Structure 1
């Protein structure tokens, strides 16, 4: 039943967004007593935190990085590009995560550690934690601005243009963080 609640809640969030999500609406949609949900989740925040964990765990385990001698900076770039896309697709849960930083999310920590490991192995010019924070903040800011545009004008052409623009800006940021070149 817990898995059924989680899966249904994820579908509701995708369809209606976090602002209109409630435990009561979830229970009505599932045709169950609201107390059945509270048996598994003490409150809405607990349920949303569990949803974030489930979604980020799937994302983290879905990352396909070849082991071995490959260019770590290219792997990092791939992870960040895929993370941006994931963030946009799961904007409500992503916003919840940003607005609730005191929730310890194991899958989010694993992603942060992966990014940090890739940064360390790419020899940043700044300290690795600062570099990670700069890159993640850049991803979040870009994804938030793009998600508003995508909601208003969901065009494949626009999305591709914005993605290409993001990749170019990310390359500039990489050059600055790893090769100490100017951001121009």
Structure 2
């Protein structure tokens, strides 16, 4: 007779490699492979642990989802000192879309979440980049809304496109220039 070594709750000493970061690493791998956030059961199966062990590190599925999506979005371009704002904003935008295309289910997951963590990562970087423009709050927010709606639309179109070569991030240049020109013109009105 064999005994199931999986135990509920706190991970055993034999599972010392199990921690919040290792759980996130496997969750990222599964999301990339399956195009959607993994279930707790699938994640536990991949880690060869009891699902309850995950709850030792994450209070619930929403906490895990928040950590997963925030961790992924945190990988996008980080603004650099002394880089022209247009170049920084273009790199931020392109890296965000590339991330959404690499993790096919990420956009849908972010848009259906009730928490604000992943969006805050992008927003903070956006506001840092455009700070030299000295725009009023409404113009900053309107620019952010326009940019994010465009990026999400582009990523969504890419996910639906039958030929991935037709839509790549290089095709974003013209549209991004329109958004950037609008931001720049808003500074001239102030």
**Normalising TM by the smaller chain, what interval?**
0.7 to 0.9
Q: What is the alpha-carbon distance in structure 2 between the residues aligned to residue 124 and residue 89 of structure 1?
A: 33
8 Å CA contact 1:81–1:167 kept in 2: the answer is no
8 Å CA contact 1:123–1:178 kept in 2: the answer is no
Which portions of structure 1, spanning 4 or more consecutive aligned residues, are displaced by more than 6 angstroms?
none
How many residues align? The count is 167
Coordinate RMSD, CA, aligned: 2.5
State which of 24, 30, 35 in structure 2 corresponds to 1:12. Answer: 30
State which of 134, 142, 156 in structure 2 corresponds to 1:130. Answer: 142
Matching of residue 76 in structure 1 with residue 69 in structure 2: no
8 Å CA contact 2:73–2:96 kept in 1: the answer is no
* Structure richer in helix, relative to its length: 1
**TM-score normalised per structure 1:** 0.76
> CA 1:164–1:56 in structure 2 vs 1: closer, same or farther (change >3 Å)?
closer
Larger Rg: 2
Q: What is the alpha-carbon distance in structure 2 between the residues aligned to residue 123 and residue 168 of structure 1?
A: 24
Matching of residue 144 in structure 1 with residue 156 in structure 2: yes
**TM-score normalised per structure 2:** 0.74
Q: Partner of 1:92 in structure 2? A: 105
Q: How far did residue 31 of structure 1 move? A: 1.7
Q: Which runs of 5+ in 2 are unaligned?
A: 1-17
Q: Partner of 2:45 in structure 1? A: 28
